[in-house]
Amino acid sequence: MLSVDRVEKSYKKAGMFSRERQRVLRSISFACGPGECLGIIGESGSGKSTLGRLLLGIEKPDRGTITFDGRRVDERRARRGKISAVFQDYTASINPFYTVEQALLEPLKLRGLSRRERHSAIDLLLHQVGLDLSYRGKYPHELSGGEVQRVCIARAVATEPKLIVLDEAVSSLDGSVQLQVLELLRSLRQLYGMSYIFITHDIRAAAYICDRVMILRSGQIEEIVAVEQLKDVQSAYARKLLEMVVL
């Protein structure tokens, strides 16, 4: 289980002589249970990606603690193989000189499998993300955006993590491909039973895949609601977000 307790984060404001700091996250506390999909929504600049980086242990909070299964996520060993990530910019998340097979081999090495086991694990992963075996030898530039994102998802799943942090993972894909990848994420979660932190500015995508949704505004949690109750959400800000889409 992921547990976030009174987390604060600020950054130095731009400008050489500036001593001011911008408070990006204020007193953030929440939990995400095993197998749960928690959405984090909010407008641009509300601190979603910053929170995502803290959950992944890429950056440390100024104050407060983040633990996963009782261990702090900023300890590399605590999160290794247990927490993985899928980002929006999939072209940057994958090495252009690696074939799909090489890209998948990397995380599989963490699992300590034999060479033969790794090969069958690659076949299985490709199958699970809906790519046939001819993709093994392909390079990223030979794939469509949706296909590269499937490879990134396969990579994230390869270590059999307990939690995946997805930051705008479907946002740059167009409509029908977006839906296909959302469906893929749903079915993988059923298969593996892992938790998702699903960061997005798209309330519709969040409603499609999440169990609960956290509304983040100017670095503070405005509300956390179950998806079924999204229509009755209290905060004026969330209402405005909802009015922009017809659920």
Ligand X SMILES: Nc1ncnc2c1ncn2[C@@H]1O[C@H](COP(=O)(O)OP(=O)(O)OP(=O)(O)O)[C@@H](O)[C@H]1O
Q: Which residues bind Mg ion (CB under 5 A)?
A: 49
42: partner contacted, choices Mg ion, ligand X, none (Cβ within 5-8 A by kind): ligand X
Q: What are phi and psi of 198, to 5 degrees?
A: -110, 100
Query: Does 244 sit near ligand X (CB under 6 A)?
Result: no
Q: How far is the CB of 48 from Mg ion (least distance, A)?
A: 5
Query: Does 50 sit near ligand X (CB under 6 A)?
Result: yes
Query: Does 149 sit near ligand X (CB under 6 A)?
Result: no
Quick one: 47 or 161, whose CB is closer to ligand X?
47
Give the pair of three-digit tokens for residue 152: 């990134």
Give the pair of three-digit tokens for residue 188: 């993988």
Q: Which stretch binds ligand X (CB under 6 A): 47-55, 124-132, 134-142, 223-231?
A: 47-55
Q: How far is the CB of 198 from Mg ion (least distance, A)?
A: 13
HEC string of the chain equals: CEEEEEEEEEEECCCCCCCCEEEEEEEEEEEECCCCEEEEECCCCCCHHHHHHHHCCCCCCCEEEEEECCEECCCHHHHCCCEEEEECCHHHHCCCCCCHHHHHHHHHHCCCCCHHHHHHHHHHHHHHCCCCHHHCCCCHHHCCHHHHHHHHHHHHHHCCCCEEEEECCCCCCCHHHHHHHHHHHHHHHHHHCCEEEEEECCHHHHHHHCCEEEEEECCEEEEEEEHHHHHHCCCHHHHHHHHCCCC
Quick one: 44 or 190, whose CB is closer to ligand X?
44
Contact with ligand X (CB under 6 A): which of 7, 49, 68, 233? 49
* Alpha carbon distances (Å) from 27 to 13, 33, 63, 200: 20, 20, 9, 21
Query: Does 108 sit near ligand X (CB under 6 A)?
Result: no
Query: Does 46 sit near ligand X (CB under 6 A)?
Result: yes
CB atoms inside a 10 Å sphere around CB 141:
8
Q: Which stretch binds ligand X (CB under 6 A): 44-52, 79-87, 130-138, 190-198?
A: 44-52
Number of residues that bind ligand X (CB under 6 A): 11
Query: Does 11 sit near ligand X (CB under 6 A)?
Result: yes
Quick one: 11 or 127, whose CB is closer to ligand X?
11
Q: Which stretch binds ligand X (CB under 6 A): 37-45, 61-69, 77-85, 94-102?
A: 37-45
Contact with ligand X (CB under 6 A): which of 42, 61, 140, 161? 42
In the shown chain, the binding pattern of residues 186 to 225 toward ligand X, with x for contact by CB under 6 A and - for none, equals ---------------x------------------------
Up-side HSE of residue 237: CA atoms within 13 Å toward CB?
15
Query: Does 23 sit near ligand X (CB under 6 A)?
Result: no
| Residue ranges binding ligand X (CB under 6 A) | 11, 24, 42, 44-50, 201
